[in-house]
Amino acid sequence: MIRVENIVKSFGGFRAVDGATLEIAEGSITGLIGPNGAGKTTLFNVIAGNLKSDSGQVLMGGEDITGLPPHELFHKGVLRTFQIAHEFFSMSVRENLMMVPAGQSGERLWKTWLNRRQIAAEERKLARKADEVLEFLTISHLAEEKAGNLSGGQKKLLELGRTMMVDAKIVFLDEVGAGVNRTLLGTIGDAIVRLNTERGYTFCLIEHDMDFIARLCDPVIVMAEGHVLAEGKADEIMQNEDVIEAYLGT
């Protein structure tokens, strides 16, 4: 689905991503791991349109999507989750979900030209969709809660929920498990698996929690020093000597 070819991205004279080549197969939950500083986040930023690479290509189903800005990728179903911005903390969880399609597609401007009845119908449709998403994520009870009052894990679920408000094809998740308690991590993992199996989402996730990776991801791609060091099933990867050495070396 996504092919990354020989991506290079330097900061000053330092090559944070140094010729990374990898593939994310359609329908997979691909894990991206590696020691701190391996270049994982930088590569995500390049793929998701948040950073321009120095060279290399990102292809989606053969189409060159290198350097497209996030809103254009959004329309192609390529989404990256982001922490909920502070200005949305005082809005309810449901309102946060309802903002997604409007905020991203420029619909809000267009909407001002619609008459009130149409607007109300649109809003009802969005609210229904938001409620379906909350039910799917088993957090319907939080619909009216202010986003700012959610725990870290609940915020991650909301971030995942935001991708469900639009027709996502591939979702990039950056450390969805960081600082999340075990129970919620289980709920997040279940949601990812269900989105994958029931809705056909492809995932690529950066994660440090190896149990989480082993449970969800196949394949696992290991990055070190800006390029891909190994790829395989989680248990193979964990026994790979080059991988062990890369982790020990940091």
Site for ligand ADP in 27-46 (CB under 6 A): 34, 36-42
What backbone torsions phi and psi does residue 21 show, to the nearest 5 degrees? -130, 125
Residue with tokens 């790979």: 240
Note whether 150 and 93 are within 8 A (CB): yes
Minimum CB separation of residue 39 from ligand ADP in Å reads 4
Nearer to ligand ADP, 12 or 62 (CB): 12
Nearer to ligand ADP (CB atom), residue 34 or residue 101: 34
Scan residues 56-75 and list those touching ligand ADP (CB under 6 A): none
Least distance in angstroms from the C-beta of 129 to ligand ADP? 33
Residue listed under structure tokens 């029931």:
198
Residue 121 or 244: the one with the smaller Cβ distance to ligand ADP is 244
Identity of the residue numbered 204: C
**Any bridge partners for residue 224, and if so which?**
227
Q: 92 and 145 in contact (C-beta within 8 Å)?
A: yes
Instruction: Give the number of residues in contact with ligand ADP, rule: CB under 6 A.
Output: 10
What is the separation of C-alpha 18 from the centre of its chain, rounded to a whole number of angstroms? 22
Choice between 68 and 221, CB closer to ligand ADP: 221
232 binding ligand ADP? (CB under 6 A): no
Q: Output the smallest distance, CB 137 to ligand ADP, in A.
A: 26
Task: Output 33 or 157, the one with its CB closest to ligand ADP.
Answer: 33
Strands 14-24 and 55-60: unpaired
In this complex, which beta carbon is closest to ligand ADP, that of residue 38 or of residue 230? 38
Tell me whether residue 176 or residue 195 sits nearer to ligand ADP (CB atom): 176
**From the CB of 93, what's the least distance to ligand ADP, in Å?**
29
How many residues are listed for the chain in this entry? 250
Q: Measured between alpha carbons, how far is 34 from 30 in angstroms, rounded to an integer?
A: 13
CB of 191 to ligand ADP, least distance (A): 23
- Exposure on the CB side of residue 5, measured as CA atoms within 13 A: 12
Query: Alpha carbon of 168 to those of 75, 135, 175: distances in Å?
Result: 9, 18, 19
- Residue 55 CB: number of other CB atoms within 10 A? 12
Binding mask 3-32 for ligand ADP (x = CB under 6 A): --------x----x----------------
Residues that bind ligand ADP (CB under 6 A): 11, 16, 34, 36-42
